[in-house]
């Protein structure tokens, strides 16, 4: 029993630190066993009172709903305390031609997706209806700035799938209160000053500027992009992936609504620029707007000009003049491995590629969930769990890179060096090129995803491919399976159109559902 893994120490109190603490403690803390001696399990989080969090992330996946439910928080409290709103997907403007083109990647998979692949049948009507409109009612819900549920729909349930837009600073505060008040997490406000190792190389304890040494069995590095434990102490390098994805800088601003009646968007708006893209997120009380760009292709002052032009066009000249802009730089990439000895990195310390498709917080959720589920019983099996963890997450980072890169290579834009370079063969991962070669002749389907817990389902690839006008050269009448489902497909297209009409009539706008966040106004 001497080497049981019972004492977990998290360094860092950003969203990664507090979300990890909540997920792991919710699984292992037993409120009946109030004393550490009884339960054995202890989770302590050390957070610097001086070093700020990155505090930019404002979008989540739908997975956050089940995470919040599992850690035991009320969705209404979450909405009110974190300035949260609904995110039903992303609308991409100007990515295909740069001429006001638009497509949506909604969070709801195509109608009856588990049984019928509508994509081959849509090829026959592609000139008449956009892919997402044909197969899923959510694009029309999004176009009308409607909520994904009614006021009577229970917490976490929905009519169409959703995640959240939120204020990450408030989210970390919310999670801190929940962790310390309900989940037995010990919060230490202190600066880490040293990492103390034993002969084997394992970390034994952390020294801080205010407390005696804090010892543990497993140390979670949530210290942000400096990766103080995994990077600085263990020297596990960051593997840059800038060969594939070029963005490495961001300019972030908060923009007020012009009037209290301005619509709150139901999705993230992503508008392509000359060397990057602008995100636009609608929170209940303000918008979060930012430009993520590649500094090799555009100078900061020009990127800033593009951002200010966007703010002026969407919120007025005064908002652009008043905007206070924060500059953030990052090296797109991830650690060579994430779990080394008795230390595992989660959040920015593990890596960051770029905000497109908001894959950062979902990786935090998945990492913490795997640690919670497979918490090594003792030090001997920890290396095996670590090996599994590293394999799984290296695979996931590769899939994220494939999916993000897909957004860039289908463009017809050739108006800047950035878009031209993005389409060069040398910048496309082989794994993605193989998929594209296959998809020229067959549409994506469940067979294209090899793992049961794949991050991006084949439906997501369909939305991006056909949203960007990709051509799959198939004649649905030539394949027996497609001929057999042709009639079913037509009925499903009709059902989808009817469902879209019903939802448009029944769902309130995001503003009308303001009771959810009324405490914040």
- Distances 519 to 40, 281, 514 between C-alpha atoms, Å: 39, 20, 9
H or E element in which residue 288 lies? strand 287-293
Partners of 270 in the β-ladder: 92, 279
Q: Is 46 in the site for ligand FAD (CB under 6 A)?
A: yes
Using the rule CB under 6 A, give the single segment among 44-52, 138-146, 175-183, 475-483 that binds ligand FAD.
44-52
Q: Does 358 bind ligand FAD (CB under 6 A)?
A: yes
Please state whether 15 falls in left (phi above 0), alpha (psi between -120 and 50) or beta.
alpha
- Find tokens 């006001």 and name the residue: 100
Smallest separation (angstroms) from ligand FAD to the CB of 20: 9
Hey, which bits of 315-418 come out as E strands? 326-329, 333-335, 339-340, 343-345, 351-352
Residue 221 beta carbon to ligand FAD: minimum distance, rounded to whole angstroms? 9
Helices (H), 252-378: 300-315, 317-322, 360-373
Q: Nearer Cβ to ligand FAD, position 117 or 270? A: 270
Nearer to ligand FAD, 60 or 145 (CB): 60
> Which one of the spans 343-351, 417-425, 446-454, 509-517 is the region binding ligand FAD (CB under 6 A)?
343-351
Strands annotated E in 198-275 = 203-208, 214-215, 218-221, 238-240, 249-255, 268-273
From the list 256, 334, 252, 234, the residue with the least C-alpha distance to 293 is 252
**449/154 Cα distance (integer angstroms):** 32
Q: What would the two tokens of residue 399 be? A: 């899939």
- Number of Cβ atoms within 10 Å of the Cβ of 15: 26
**Choices 53-61, 144-152, 211-219, 477-485 (CB under 6 A): range interacting with ligand FAD:** 53-61
Under rule CB under 6 A, residue 12 binds ligand FAD: yes
Establish if 192 lies at the interface with ligand FAD (CB under 6 A). yes
User: By rule CB under 6 A, what string of x and - marks binding of each residue 73-112 to ligand FAD?
Assistant: ----------------------------------------
Considering only 109-117, 347-355, 455-463, 508-516, which stretch makes contact with ligand FAD by CB under 6 A?
347-355
Q: How many beta carbons lie within 10 A of that of residue 34, not counting itself?
A: 10
* C-beta of 57 vs 148, nearer to ligand FAD: 57
Smallest separation, CB 455 to ligand FAD (Å): 13
Of these, 250, 320, 368, 459, which contacts ligand FAD (CB under 6 A)? 250
Residue 53 engages ligand FAD in binding (rule: CB under 6 A):
yes
Q: Measured from the CB atom, is 349 or 458 closer to ligand FAD?
A: 349
Backbone angles phi, psi at 409, to 5 degrees: -90, -10
Residues 365 to 404 in contact with ligand FAD, rule: CB under 6 A: none
What's the chain's length in residues?
Answer: 521
* Among 6, 15, 458, 472, interactor with ligand FAD by CB under 6 A: 15
Is residue 8 classed as helix, strand or coil in its secondary structure? strand
Contact status: 11 vs ligand FAD (CB under 6 A): yes
Q: How many residues bind ligand FAD (CB under 6 A)?
A: 39
Residue of the chain from 94, 224, 282, 476 that contacts ligand FAD (CB under 6 A): 224
Burial class from Cβ neighbours inside 10 Å (0-12, 13-18, 19+) for residue 151 reads exposed
Least distance CB 279 / ligand FAD (angstroms): 7
> Torsions phi, psi of 470, nearest 5?
-70, 145
Out of 94, 184, 355, 444, the only residue in the binding site for ligand FAD (CB under 6 A) is 355
Smallest CA-to-CA distance from 59 within 96, 94, 11, 107 is with 107
Stretch that binds ligand FAD, among 93-101, 146-154, 357-365, 511-519 (CB under 6 A): 357-365
Nearer to ligand FAD, 60 or 67 (CB): 60
Residue 62 in tokens? 């739908």
| Main-chain phi, psi angles of 114, to 5 degrees | -65, -25
For residue 74 the two structure tokens come to 């009320």
Residue of 404, 398, 410 lying closest to 451 (CA atoms)? 398
Q: Which is nearer to ligand FAD, 192 or 428 (CB)?
A: 192
Tell me which DSSP letter residue 302 carries.
Answer: H
Q: How far apart are CA 218 and CA 3, in angstroms?
A: 11
Is residue 360 at the binding interface for ligand FAD, with CB under 6 A as the rule? yes
Contact positions with ligand FAD (CB under 6 A) in 303-332: 328, 330
Q: Which of 5, 2, 511 is nearest to 263 (CA)?
A: 511
Report, in Å, the least distance between residue 239 CB and ligand FAD.
17
Is 223 a residue that touches ligand FAD (CB under 6 A)? yes
In the stretch 138-177, what mask flags binding to ligand FAD with x, by CB under 6 A?
Answer: ------------------------------x---------
Indicate the residue among 418 and 470 with the shorter CB distance to ligand FAD: 418
Q: Applying CB under 6 A, does 482 fall inside the site for ligand FAD?
A: no
Summarize as ranges the residues that interact with ligand FAD (CB under 6 A). 11-17, 46-48, 51, 53-54, 56-60, 168, 191-192, 222-224, 228, 250, 252, 290, 292, 328, 330, 347-349, 352, 355, 358, 360-361
């Amino acid at each position: 029993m001497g080497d049981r893994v019972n004492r977990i120490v998290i360094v860092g109190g950003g969203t990664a630190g507090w979300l990890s603490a909540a997920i792991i403690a919710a699984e292992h803390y037993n409120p009946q066993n109030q004393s550490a001696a009884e339960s054995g399990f202890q989770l302590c989080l050390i957070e610097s009172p001086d070093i700020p969090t990155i505090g930019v992330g404002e979008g989540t996946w739908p997975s956050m709903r089940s995470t919040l439910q599992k850690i035991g928080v009320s969705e209404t409290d979450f909405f009110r305390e974190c300035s949260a709103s609904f995110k039903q997907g992303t609308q991409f403007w100007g990515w295909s031609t740069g001429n006001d083109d638009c497509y949506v990647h909604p969070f709801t998979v195509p109608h009856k997706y588990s049984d019928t692949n509508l994509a081959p049948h849509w090829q026959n009507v592609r000139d008449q209806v956009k892919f997402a409109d044909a197969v899923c009612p959510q694009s029309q819900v999004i176009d009308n700035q409607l909520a994904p549920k009614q006021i009577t729909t229970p917490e976490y349930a929905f009519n169409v799938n959703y995640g959240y837009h939120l204020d990450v600073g408030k989210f970390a505060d919310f999670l801190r209160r929940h962790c310390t008040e309900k989940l037995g997490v010990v919060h230490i406000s202190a600066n880490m000053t040293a990492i103390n190792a034993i002969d084997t190389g394992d970390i034994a304890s952390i020294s801080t500027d205010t407390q005696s040494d804090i010892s543990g069995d497993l140390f979670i590095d949530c210290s942000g992009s400096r990766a103080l434990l995994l990077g600085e102490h263990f020297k596990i390098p960051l593997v840059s992936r800038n060969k594939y994805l070029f963005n490495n800088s961001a300019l972030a601003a908060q923009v007020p609504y012009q009037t209290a009646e301005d619509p709150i968007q139901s999705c993230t708006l992503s508008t392509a620029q000359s060397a990057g893209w602008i995100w636009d997120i609608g929170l209940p009380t303000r918008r979060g707007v930012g430009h993520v760009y590649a500094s090799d292709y555009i100078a900061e002052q020009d990127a800033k000009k593009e951002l200010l032009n966007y703010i002026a066009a969407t919120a007025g000249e005064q908002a652009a003049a008043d905007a206070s802009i924060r500059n953030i730089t990052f090296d797109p990439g991830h650690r060579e491995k994430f779990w080394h000895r008795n230390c595992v990195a989660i959040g920015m310390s593990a890596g960051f590629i770029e905000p497109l498709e908001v894959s950062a917080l979902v990786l935090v959720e998945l990492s913490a969930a795997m640690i919670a589920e497979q918490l090594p019983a003792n030090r001997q099996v920890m290396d095996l769990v670590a090996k599994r963890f590293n394999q799984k997450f290296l695979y996931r980072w590769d899939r994220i890179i494939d999916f993000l890169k897909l957004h860039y290579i289908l463009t017809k834009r050739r108006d800047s060096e950035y878009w031209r370079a993005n389409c060069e063969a040398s910048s496309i991962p082989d794994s993605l090129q193989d998929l594209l070669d296959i998809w020229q002749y067959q549409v994506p389907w469940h067979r294209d995803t090899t793992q049961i817990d794949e991050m991006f389902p084949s439906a997501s690839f369909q939305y991006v491919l056909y949203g960007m006008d990709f051509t799959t050269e198939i004649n649905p009448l030539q394949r027996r399976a497609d001929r057999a489902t042709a009639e079913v497909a037509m009925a499903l297209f009709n059902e989808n159109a009817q469902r879209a009409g019903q939802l448009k009539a029944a769902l309130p706008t995001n503003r009308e559902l303001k009771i959810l966040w009324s405490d914040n106004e």
